Amino acid sequence: MIIDTTEVQTINSFSSSESVKEVYGLISLFVPILPLILGIIIGVLVIVWLEREISAAIQQRIGPEYAGPLGILQAIADGTKLLFKEDLFPSRGNIRLFSVGPSLAVISILLSYLVIPFGYRLVLADLSIGVFLWIAISSIAPIGLLMSGYGSNNKYSFSGGLRAAAQSISYEIPLTLCVLSISLLSNSLSTVDIVEAQSKYGFGGWNLWRQPIGFLVFLISSLAECERLPFDLPEAEEELVAGYQTEYSGIKYGLFYLASYLNLLISSLFVTVLYLGGWNLFIPYIFIPELFVKKKMVAVFGMTIGIFITLVKAYLFLFISIATRWTLPRMRMDQLLNLGWKFLLPIALGNLLLTTSFQLVSL
């Protein structure tokens, strides 16, 4: 049997080139994700520090000050402590559901960051259904909480999981109607298109001025989706002893708080994108893309400014959320459901009908 060496060399070179392409493809896939994950982690640490400092100022007490300068390392110290704590499991619980629940809550929220535009041409995935993808993915998080409560085999935990599911369903509908109103104004479901539709008119074109009622409904609904006070009924300490996280300890316990702060950050970023013009500040942004094409330095500077403006607007919303938590008392469960179904839902539906009528008349 005669073997052609040229064919063997061709096959080897082809297989090696294919393996190089696969490795390059994996690297090119993970390189854009790593800065995003690093930025999200830093953002969560900043939120934890800000919440402690703002709550201390509101209550006229001293906040964290010993772990690092001004206490900025306190969140890292707490996370390290939870990482080394013993991981306990309920003896009669469902271990699989108990373990998967926290991870499902965190992963579903992390995926929502894919469609957030932090600046001009600075988005990981510019999808045509970006905002609805966020709504669909964020609806998975309460399933993780329900799994955690059921898997704990604890009546308080299970009640907390049921409350989380009921609360999410109640406030998801007004939230979706507000997003649909914004999509009608922008004629797109893409987050980038929504920002650019506001950027054409500068400060006066923000959807905050065109949709003030929708903005208030979205603000309240997003707080309820994040389970922040006065809407933290799924983990009400006085009634449920911490709710769905009663049986958790160690790093799994910390994952619930990580999911809460991740959800709060993504909600504030979507408020910025949908209502506050995204990376746009006060000037019409339609003239700037030409500069981006001509000079790379201008492009880098513009992206940096865009990220800074987006984060400033997002952290303004975060300040409002933190101040609301330490100002208003907790609602009852029946009041929470009545607010969602009997008040916010009709207002959001009426706002959507008015927006649709306005769009039809303008045509």
> Does pLDDT of 294 surpass 50?
no
> Does pLDDT of 154 surpass 70?
yes
| Least confident span in 180-184, 207-211, 292-296 | 292-296
Tokens 């074109």: give the residue: 205
* Mean pLDDT computed over every residue of the chain: 82
Longest dimension (CA), the chain: 90
> Does pLDDT of 202 surpass 90?
no
> Does pLDDT of 177 surpass 90?
yes
Omega within 30 of 0 (cis) for the link into 230: yes
| 236 or 295, higher pLDDT | 236
pTM: predicted TM-score of the whole model, two decimal places: 0.84
Give the C-alpha separation, 249 to 272, whole Å. 35
What number is the average pLDDT over the span 175-187? Answer: 91
For the stretch 7-51, pLDDT in tens is 545 555 545 555 656 666 556 666 767 777 888 888 888 898 998
SS3 of 62-125: CCCCCCCHHHCCHHHHHHHHHHCCCCCCCCCCCHHHHHHHHHHHHHHHHHHHHHCCCECCECCC
Going from N- to C-terminal start, the domains of the chain cover 85-362
Sign of CA dihedral 240, 243, 248, 253: negative
Confidence of residue 284 (pLDDT cuts 50, 70, 90): very low
> Does pLDDT of 189 surpass 80?
yes
> Does pLDDT of 56 surpass 80?
yes
Confidence of residue 227 (pLDDT cuts 50, 70, 90): confident
Identify the pLDDT of residue 24: 60
Contact call for residues 318 and 226 (beta carbons, < 8 A): no
Identify the pLDDT of residue 8: 47
Which tokens go with 158? 């299970």
